[in-house]
Structure 1
């Protein structure tokens, strides 16, 4: 009898947890567990204007060879974006028409981007190839995180703005 009660309680708690998680997901809430931005609860806020440089955004990566390799290497979490990965939180640092140069650091329209050193290897010594840079194409964004080990446009290049989900708004976060 007692065992049955425990099982019913656990089943009920599981159903409530899944229900609350589903409601939060539908409401645009996401849990960030990666160090590129503060850890914790974030919300995707609708972008009711054109995207601008400096916007902190959620975006779904396109399904490309670079993102598949990043998924296999463990740079990306599993999620519901195409390709089976979770949305990323990055800052927009260049828009269509802006020139991006990538060498030891990122240079946008002739100005060095702070905290943009380009690494040759990842945290376990695997080679990282930098994007060649160039002019950001129409309907694309160049994205960045000041976190030194961030996997961002330094390595995967400009991404289609069709993957933009909205602005990233911290709700309850903790800087590690």
Structure 2
């Protein structure tokens, strides 16, 4: 194979990969490489009903110093949400008006939230500050992941539902 032909094949291959990636992105497909939810290919679906507790969702966190620090600490991947972070995949644990109590574990309206132990430090020993708890304000969602080291509302509190991208549907995933 001549050098010129090799360059043309590489260029064509790169173009095909770029076009397929753009089509997947526009079709709502996302790749999850974090252990907060199963690894693999996911799809964002527009909800046909109101978001409910227990729904698994994609959400962009708001631009805020707390999330900038989370990005610096590598809790959040780089992505296309405002602030340069990737969307989060989390379960909706509480809706506006529900009471979140933070102790060693989380309780929602008095009921224990499974897999909700709080950590005092992250994986490299840096301190973590827990959300204070309280009533979930209107227009926000309290998010959770069953993964013990997940960065979720246990630490950042409820976030605006305006960042909601849609329901998270696994396409081809494996548990970490």
Cα distance in 2 for residues equivalent to 1:55 and 1:122? 26
How far 1:65 moved relative to its partner? Answer: 1.1
TM-score normalised by length of structure 1: 0.99
How far 1:175 moved relative to its partner? Answer: 1.0
The equivalent residue for 1:122 is 122
Cα distance in 2 for residues equivalent to 1:104 and 1:44? 33
Residue-by-residue CA offset, 1:111-169 (whole Å, 9 max, x unaligned): 11110000000000000000001000001000000000000000000000000000000
The equivalent residue for 2:104 is 104
Helix, strand or coil at the partner of 2:52: coil
The equivalent residue for 1:56 is 56
The equivalent residue for 1:70 is 70
Name structure 1 gaps, 5 residues minimum: none
The equivalent residue for 2:92 is 92
Residue-by-residue CA offset, 1:25-64 (whole Å, 9 max, x unaligned): 0000000000011100000001121100000000000001
Helix, strand or coil at the partner of 1:36: coil
Provide the alpha-carbon RMSD of the alignment.
Answer: 0.7
Name structure 2 gaps, 5 residues minimum: none
TM-score normalised by length of structure 2: 0.99
Cα distance in 2 for residues equivalent to 1:158 and 1:88? 13
Helix, strand or coil at the partner of 2:127: coil
